[in-house]
Structure 1
């Protein structure tokens, strides 16, 4: 016997049918008082298909404004920091310049002090009128060669043409012919005394010239009342003849070794 099927379609009920049936069932249960235990799950399942309300919060437009404000504040902060840094750099540069100027000023002042000290020492320095020479005729030696009967200075050995220098700093008050002294130079020293250099063959300074210790004033010779080339060196307390003092003692009192 052939296998036969009942007439009609054999499909499961649709979702709408199931839902309608479910609602009808719930209505039935409601009359029995059982709905309290089943309603929540049934409606919870259906609520999944419905749109959920937007969660509380900021819109995209609000978020953009906040981000812009935040960026602006950050830019202001960076600008403020840059201003502070520039100010600090400027202050550091100013301090460095001030320190450099102070060091330069101190160096200049130290250099000037050193120069003044060197000049002071130089002005107070004395030396022999003829370098490396020695006394050939002593002070106050007796002889008929001198009008006073005694030697008013000392003679230093000095071949013709030997350089003659000022023994110290002073001003030339006489430069030319000096009678028995021949060509001579007289210098007023800084301490008020006078030094005389006689029998020169030539003169290299003029009256009023400021001379320094060791500066050449002429060349040794044998002019005037002289028996041969040498330097007559004389020291006086004033410009007048007869105020002579010991040239050797004078030089030694100024630190010259002789």
Structure 2
């Protein structure tokens, strides 16, 4: 019980729709709306489209359709949402949304034909070297996502699962790209399909958390649960309230 919050800071119960698992400024006096659903929605749609390509849905295997989404919605809009998270005092949300916004902008540039970063005649004369370089890029994002994942362990199940599936997505795609650079094409195909599957799950979990942050009694006939971990702030609060109700009964 030594770590139970007893200080004067206001806290928002861990909630995926707020994109913040820990300390947070009071929502009653802030002048900004909650920017998390916007960033989550931008991330979700762009990830959904890329994951559909990674899964070879309807025979589509070329990912360049992602470029406009990566630069505009998943990139610019999510980056703006991250900056607005900074304005409302949410360090986790600002770091995550801004970083993934930067990821999509970088990935959009990577796929832009005029830049020709990985194509024929580009800086990587050896295609295997280009694939290894891309694998380094994806490995770095796997490491970053793992750090973000560790910061969700005291939040909600739906919030944790978003980062867990995204982490596995980056891991599968990185390993698949390493396999491509080594010439193991069958293994590469399997790993990229797995990455597409985990990416699709991450996209729908991002939409789920976005809806949780948008929906309230003024605009929706129902609210969706986010399932607080029993060791989270809200989980402890629920246990205390349940115990008090039983004692009163």
Q: State the TM-score, normalizing by the size of structure 2.
A: 0.23
Structure showing greater relative contact order (alpha-carbon pairs closer than 8 Å, 6 or more residues apart): 2
Q: Which has the higher strand share?
A: 1
Larger radius of gyration: 1
